[in-house]
Amino acid sequence: MGAQEESYARVYHAGRIEQLMEVLCRPGGASLLLERQGAQPLPVVVRSMHQGRSLTLDISAIPEVAPALSRGVGFRLLGSSHSGMLRTPVMILKHTGRPADLLHSECDYPLYLEEMQRRDTFRAALRLGMEVGVVLSRDGDADGVYGDLKDLSLQGCLVELSAHAVALLEPGGPSLEMQLCFPDGSRLVLFGRARHHRAEPDRGVILAGFQFEPHSTEVDRLLWFYVREIEREAARHAEGGNPMLRPSALFLANDPLGNPVSRRAGDSYATPMARRLARSAGYLDTQILELRGGGRIDRSALSRHAERIMALHDEDREGVLFAAECLHHEPPMVRHGLAVAVRLLDLAQAQRMPREVCKAITAAALVHDLGKALLAPELLGAERLDASAYREVQRHVGLLQARLQECRWLSPAVAEAVIGAINERLDGSGYPQQRSADQLPELARLAAVVDVIDAMGRPRADRAPWPMDRIYRHMLDSPDCFDGRWVKRYIEHFGLYPVGTRIAFPGGEQGWVCALDTQGRPHEVWITDHGDPPQAGQGKRLHGAALAALGEARCVEFGAGR
């Protein structure tokens, strides 16, 4: 390479902005530069910051700038982080007045920050909705390990891998072939070695950093092109970003319903439909990380995945119902959101609700529980909750609603019913507002039934999962909490053995219901000895006479992996 190139790159991610602002808040961490010719950086103290709202500055050490600031002259805050120089966009004080009154001043919190990084060290981070697959393989291996690209530089990259890929990451191990696979079909093959990795047990993944082996000038040129395109696309998607930027051709998928190369493509999900639905699982998983990093619900990505799930449902109703129960590699919060979304959509379409309402219901159900990702992990894993801890858990509803404010296409009435009221109960014992029957719309009553039936069939810290027949009895025996009409409609619609239910036979065989006949009885069952939902290549699917020969089925508890 020739001389190192330096440029400022904008940072829009709320969590990263907060990290960099903490650098400016340190003693001696910030300087103030007026936006006028010949100005020099001057010492300033950032006394406090209120994320997303304002900064408080102490300029008592530089009173000479107060007259200019009082006239509304713009300024930048400057600093430096471990990765390079740092600056804010041009800002002005919120309230101008007498210079003597401005020694402690307030300005708006920056919408973005700018970092100056050398070209060879700059890392372009992929945002939510930007999917780039990575295939890792040892020399001579026919099969590869699939992963998701998280960031890219000229020197290396960060890749998210399934936990079972840890064997490839041994220190000092051999160089691996790395194929970067973009949605438009572009491919780049190079070689790299794992330098570090860390596990995220709650998500069942490993984040691994790779350093590229020396490569040709042509590969170097292509890498820099990809780095710039990732950064440009990230800026287009970012909150407060430039919506006028044209989409990068790299991220325009040829088949939006297809299954691109990704970490989930390497998971042994049972059916092609499950592997396709896994893309939406990937969206939810990444959205959780965005929320934890201070981001909001991505309105465009949520719209796309709601439409995608509806398209999969149109294509094969029972196939997508079964697929929603097969994603055992995904985090529990993701599996629950997908299952509730698919079943609510199925019921909504059976009630002949308008398609735009069905889309809003699907979208709201997908994210209805994601506010829990913002709670302390010990709360979600606790076997017992005292009154104070239970009130803290209830905050997840409001936390999510605050992150949905920019999602203006989502019907407020649907969002309120499916997100705001899904945890309410007819007798007022629910949360967050303890609303009673006459305050709950029909959709909230329906959503509560779907939500609880799915949740009771999943393991929790304080109990094992319940079999479907016991869940149905509980729901029917709780008319004070749940609308009996919707409980009965749910049972009539999905049957005593809903698609995705685990059942057992008199001879000891166990399996998972794949399809029902017109009378609601199991028509096709995937027989497997495993407690988890089936995986590709495991067990066998039986129907007709072979299935009838097994005898009368009964419900059993779902596997711990559900």
> How many CA atoms lie within 13 Å of 549's alpha carbon, on the beta-carbon side?
5
Tokens of 355: 């398609």
Tally the C-alpha atoms within 13 A of residue 67's C-alpha that lie toward its C-beta.
1
- DSSP state for residue 258 in the 8-state scheme: S
How far apart, in whole angstroms, are the C-alpha atoms of residue 32 and residue 60?
A: 12
Alpha helices in 71-151 (DSSP H): none
Rounded mean pLDDT of 332-336? 94
Position 26 scores a pLDDT of 85
Q: What's the pTM value of the predicted model, to 2 decimals? A: 0.69
What is the structure's pLDDT at 244?
Answer: 61
Instruction: Report the mean per-residue pLDDT for the chain.
Output: 87
Half-sphere CA count of 266, side-chain side, radius 13 A? 20
> What's the pLDDT score for residue 217?
76
Q: Is 402 left (phi over 0), alpha (psi -120 to 50) or beta?
A: alpha
Asked if 252 contacts 272 with a C-beta cutoff of 8 angstroms, the reply is: no
For 277-340, the DSSP string reads: HHHHHHHHHHHHHHHHTT----HHHHHHHHHHHHHHHHH-HHHHHHHTT--TTS-HHHHHHHHH
The count of C-alpha atoms lying within 13 angstroms of the C-alpha of 147, restricted to the half-sphere facing its C-beta, is 32
The residue ranges of DSSP E strands in 461-547, in sequence order, are 502-504, 510-516, 522-527, 540-543
pLDDT in tens, 486-520: 999 999 999 999 999 999 999 999 999 999 999 88
CA distance 271 to 316: 12
Helix (H/G/I), strand (E/B), else coil: 177:
strand
* Residue 431, φ and ψ in degrees, nearest 5: -150, 165
What was the pLDDT predicted at 428?
96
Q: In this predicted model, what pLDDT tens digit does every residue of 393-447 receive, in sequence order?
A: 999 999 999 999 889 999 999 999 999 999 999 999 999 999 999 999 999 999 9
pLDDT confidence of residue 3: 36
The domains found in the chain, sorted by start residue, are 6-118 (2.30.110.10), 124-251 (2.40.10.220), 271-495 (1.10.3210.10)
Give pLDDT, residue 4: 38
**SS3 per-residue string spanning 417-461:** HHHHCCCCCCECCCCCCCCEHHHCCHHHHHHHHHHHHHHHCCCEC
pLDDT given for residue 240 in this prediction: 55
Percent of the chain with pLDDT strictly greater than 70: 90
Other Cβ atoms less than 10 A from the Cβ of 536: the count is 13
Which parts of 458-552 fold into alpha helices (H)?
468-476, 484-494, 544-548
Decide: 147 and 132 in contact? Cβ < 8 Å.
no
Does 561 have pLDDT greater than 50? Answer: no
Whole-number pLDDT of residue 259: 52
What pLDDT, in 10s, does the model give residues 297-325? 988 889 999 999 999 999 999 999 999 99
